[in-house]
Amino acid sequence: MNIYGIRAIYHFEMARTFRTLWESIAAPILTTSLYFIVFGKAIGSRMGNIDDISYGAFIIPGLVMLNLLNESISNASFGIYMPKWAGTIYELLSAPVSWVEILIGYVGAAATKSVMLGLLILGTARIFVPYQIAHPLWMIAFLLLTAVTFSLFGFIIGLWADNFQKLQVVPMLIVTPLTFLGGAFYSITMLPPLWQKITLFNPMVYLISGFRWCFYGVADVHIGMSIGMTFGFLIICLTFVGWVFKTGYKIRN
Amino acid sequence: MPISAENSVPIIFVRDVNKTYAGGFQALKKINLEIKRGEIFALLGPNGAGKTTLISIICGIVKASSGTIIAGGHDIVRDYRAARASIGLVPQELYTDSFESVWATIKFSRGLFGKAPNATYLEKVLRDLSLWDKRDAKIMTLSGGMKRRVLIAKALAHEPTILFLDEPSAGVDVELRHDMWRMVRELREQGTTIILTTHYIEEAEDMADRIGVISQGELIVVEDKDVLMRKLGKKQLMLTLRQPMTSIPAELSVWPLALSDDGHTLVYSFDSQKEETGIAELLRTLGEHNIEFKDLRSSESSLEDIFVSLVHQPKEALE
Ligand SMILES: Nc1ncnc2c1ncn2[C@@H]1O[C@H](COP(=O)(O)OP(=O)(O)OP(=O)(O)O)[C@@H](O)[C@H]1O
Ligand SMILES: [Mg+2]
């Protein structure tokens, strides 16, 4: 195992984050605060409780997930896309590092950053809503699992993308809409029966429901199902990345 | 370079390497090459010949379509870690991380290649390349020549025993070029094997122990520089005439002669390898025909002439 190599990649990526620390932090905090003011306070005050949870508190797990997914994907995809774009990837390709080590470096850094951000958003939320976390250890575990899985997914997008637009397309056109439709702001039990069935094809439902269970002990789908689905997605992503590196697809001519 | 038993085993073996790019273009055709331990090897060839492709394959950036390569005793595919750890590469293009500092980027390179941090060594590398004062500068604030040096520093950061320099002198001023070549010689003294490409042929003539010429994906010659120059070099004898000529007199037509300098100079080309150069006989013949000259000198063709003839008529040049 090339530990120094992993460390070098991880530090490089974290340094990139800290160079743009304010941009990285300010935007998500500002948007979440807006959500709390608009949904939590203004609209939420006219909404009844869902599953005995105030609407303001109900949306917290979904909001954190929304940010976590977007951050994980954008950090990791940008992280590997940049060297491809700038040409500096020659060094990575000529270095004695395996694809597992490259992944640990890039995905580890992207996940670290998005977990830090997720915690920051939870802290911000506390200013607006006094919420409790029923299963804090599960909550942290779920946060980590999701951050790693979606950083891996972002890494794949970064490998696949050959221009900046493609980098944006998946988060904007797929992840954000699916998160919104996945019950970030409502319980899927509020949908008509047919839509409840259709919604179960949306993977975000499992993430958000599972994460919400960590907070309030109630969920739309069983927690085991949520964890199983997330692991499943992680394994799909890992398999795909393994294949990409084995064949050199899109990285080695 | 003394050849002893221990360094007579080539450090790089390239066996039957072919490369066809995804578009179907065949960039390398059955390349066979051995690089000797501790030598400076110059790879020459016109634009698009396949030099960068060959280097990229050895370094692991491009996959060969077929063939095998052993570097430092390790198969570059099966045992890529050990093979790559011994190789440093300075790419042809100036690929840099604009926002990084010089120090951060060479520290990164050293770590990436699996070496424990060593600030003393990295400082020495930067000092040797006159980059120490710039260690905290962001790379994007550096000039092109300095960026080239940063790339050299990155390649040396992990103390490689094989160094590839893909056109290191492109965009580099004369002074830096001299510094760079001094450094390359020093590295060679310390036992580093150096493979370089250049379009400045004098440079290869000056620096290289051996020369390979690649043209349209084929390695057309690999030879000791001295042997190559002796074997393919043509000599010319130039006679400055007392009376200029408008054409070669008919009685001299059997000789390979040409006029230059508005008929003031008679040029005789001969093969320096032959026992009989024909010079004595030519001079006697000239005397018989009362052709007087006031000066005479001879010249050898440069590596550049050899290179041009190799690339244009490889078959003829090699015969
Ligand atoms: N990624 C690629 N896809 C397709 N063709 C390529 C690719 N890279 C290089 N080639 C082609 O392969 C041939 C060899 O290119 P290469 O870069 O190895 O040449 P070179 O000898 O280094 O030339 P130069 O002196 O200009 O640097 C060229 O015809 C080039 O167009
Ligand atoms: Mg080239």
Residue entry with tokens 């120094």: A4
From the CA of B140, how far away is ligand 1's center (Å)? 27
| Closest chain A CA to residue B155 | A91
Burial status of residue B233 (CB atoms within 10 A of its CB: 0-12, 13-18, 19 or more):
middle
The ligand 1 atom at the shortest distance from the C-alpha of residue B51 is 21
The answer to whether B74 contacts chain A (CB < 8 Å) is no
Q: Which domain holds residue A228?
A: 3-247
For the beta carbon of residue A7, count every other beta carbon within 10 angstroms: 17
Output the ligand 1 site: residues, CB below 6 A: A 253; B 21, 23, 25, 27, 45, 47-53, 92
**Residue B5, pLDDT score:** 45
Test B116 with A96 for CB contact under 8 angstroms.
no
B47 CA distance to ligand 2 centroid (A)? Answer: 7
Contact between B112 and A97 under an 8 Å Cβ cutoff? The reply is: yes
Nearest CA in chain A to B115: A4
Exposure string for B59-81, b = 16+ CB within 10 A, e = fewer = bbbbebeebebbbbebebeeebe
Interface touch B84/A98, C-beta < 8 Å: no
CA distances from residue B68 to A246, B17, B97 in whole angstroms, order as listed: 18, 6, 32
CATH C-level class of B1-86+161-173+190-233 = alpha beta
Instruction: Using CB atoms, pick whichever of A5, A86, A252 lies closest to residue B95.
Output: A86
Measured from the alpha carbon of residue B91, the closest ligand is 2
Angstrom distances, CA of residue B236 to CA of B167, B272, B289, B293, B298: 32, 9, 21, 16, 5
Helix H, strand E, coil C: the string for chain A is CCHHHHHHHHHHHHHHHHHCHHHHHHHHHHHHHHHHHHHHHHHHHHCCCECCECHHHHHHHHHHHHHHHHHHHHHHHHHHHHHHHHCCHHHHHCCCCCHHHHHHHHHHHHHHHHHHHHHHHHHHHHHHCCCCCCCHHHHHHHHHHHHHHHHHHHHHHHHHCCCHHHHHHHHHHHHHHHHHHHHHCCCHHHCCHHHHHHHCCCHHHHHHHHHHHHHHCCCCCCHHHHHHHHHHHHHHHHHHHHHHHHHCCCCCC
pLDDT at B119 over 80: yes
CB contact B61 to A (< 8 Å): yes
Residues A106 and A184 sit within 8 Å (Cβ to Cβ): no
Q: Average pLDDT in the B53-82 region?
A: 94
Residue A219: count of CB within 10 angstroms of its CB: 20
Contact flag B61-A5 (C-beta cutoff 8 Å): no
Chain A residue with Cα closest to B90: A91
Instruction: Say if the Cβ atoms of A96 and B81 lie within 8 Å.
Output: yes
Best residue of A94, A106, A162 to probe chain B, by most B CBs closer than 10 Å = A94
Q: How far apart are CA B14 and CA B36, in angstroms?
A: 12
Whole-number Cα distances in Å, B318 to B220, B296, B307, B312: 9, 29, 11, 11
> How many C-beta neighbours within 10 Å does residue A48 have?
7
> CA B8 from chain center: how many Å?
21
Q: Left, alpha or beta for A2 (phi > 0: left; psi -120 to 50: alpha)?
A: beta
Q: Which residues from chain A sit within 8 angstroms of residue B52, using beta carbons?
A: none
Give the CA distances from residue A37 to residues A32, A56, A120, B14, B210, in Å, rounded to whole numbers and listed in that order.
9, 9, 17, 67, 74
Residues of A in contact with B110 (CB under 8 A): 4, 8
Question: Which segments of chain B belong to CATH 3.40.50.300?
Answer: 1-86+161-173+190-233
Q: What is the average per-residue pLDDT within B28-41?
A: 94
CB contact (8 A) between residue B96 and residue A88: yes
**Which residue among B44, B52, B92, B164 has the greatest number of ligand 1 atoms within 8 angstroms of its CB, and so is best to mutate?**
B52
Task: Flag whether pLDDT at B215 surpasses 60.
Answer: yes
- Quick one: tokens of B222? 């690999």
Q: Is residue A253 part of a domain?
A: no
- Whether B61 sits inside 8 A of A88 (CB atoms) is no
- Say what the pLDDT of residue B70 is: 95
> Min CA distance, B155 vs chain A (Å)?
9
**φ, ψ at B88 (rounded to 5°):** -120, 145
B30 CA distance to ligand 2 centroid (A)?
Answer: 18
Measured between beta carbons, the chain A residues lying within 8 angstroms of B114 are 2, 4-5, 95-97
| Cβ contact B129:B153 at 8 Å | yes
Number of domains in chain A: 1
Q: How far apart are CA A244 and CA B82, in angstroms?
A: 22
pLDDT values of chain A reduced to their tens digit, one per residue, 253 residues: 899 999 999 999 999 888 888 887 888 888 888 888 887 777 777 777 777 778 888 888 888 998 899 889 999 999 999 999 999 999 999 999 998 899 999 999 999 999 999 999 998 888 888 888 989 999 999 999 999 999 999 999 998 888 888 888 888 888 888 888 888 887 877 888 888 888 888 888 888 889 999 998 888 888 888 889 888 989 998 998 888 877 766 677 7
Chain A with chain B: Cβ pairs closer than 8 A? 87
Q: Which of B95, B104, B113 sits opposite A95 (nearest CB)?
A: B113
Q: How confident is the model at residue B313 (pLDDT cuts 50, 70, 90)?
A: low
**Residue A5 and residue B112: Cβ atoms within 8 Å?**
yes
Nearest atom within ligand 1 for CA of residue B46: 25
Question: What interface predicted TM-score (ipTM) does this complex get?
Answer: 0.86
Per-chain mean pLDDT for chain B: 87
Asked whether residue A252 is domain-assigned, the answer is no
Tokens 């397309």 appear where?
A169
Average pLDDT (B214-243) is 82
pLDDT at B1: 46
Q: Is residue A117 part of a domain?
A: yes
Are the Cβ atoms of B114 and A2 closer than 8 angstroms? yes
Chain A interface with B: residues with Cβ < 8 Å: 2, 4-5, 7-9, 11-12, 15-16, 19, 86-88, 90-98, 248, 252-253
Which residues, at least 6 apart from B18, have a Cβ–Cβ distance to it below 8 Å? B26, B28, B29, B30, B31, B64, B65, B66, B67
**In the predicted structure, residue B2 carries a pLDDT above the cut 50:** no
Higher pLDDT, A146 or B271: A146
Region B142-161 average pLDDT? 93
Per residue in B272-310, pLDDT (tens digit) is: 666 777 888 888 888 888 888 888 887 776 666 667 777
Among A230-234, B30-34, B178-182, B233-237, where is mean pLDDT lowest? B233-237
Report the C-alpha gap between B305 and B233 in whole angstroms.
Answer: 8
Chain A hits for B162, CB-CB cut-off 8 Å, are none
B39 vs A252, residue with greater confidence = B39
Q: Dihedral, CA atoms, B143, B144, B145, B150, nearest 10 degrees? A: 90
Question: How far is the C-alpha of B155 from the C-alpha of B93, rounded, in Å?
Answer: 14
What is the Å distance from ligand 2's center to B129 Cα?
A: 23
Coil vs helix vs strand at B45? coil
Q: pLDDT confidence of B3, banded at 50, 70, 90?
A: very low
Find chain B residues with C-beta within 8 A of A84's C-beta.
none
Strand partners, B89: B164
| CATH of range B235-300; options 3.30.70, 1.10.1760, 1.10.3470, 3.40.50 | 3.30.70
Q: Chain B, 265-294: which have a CB under 8 Å from a chain A CB?
A: none
Contact B111 A91 (CB under 8 A): no
The rounded Cα B1 to chain-centroid distance in angstroms is 17
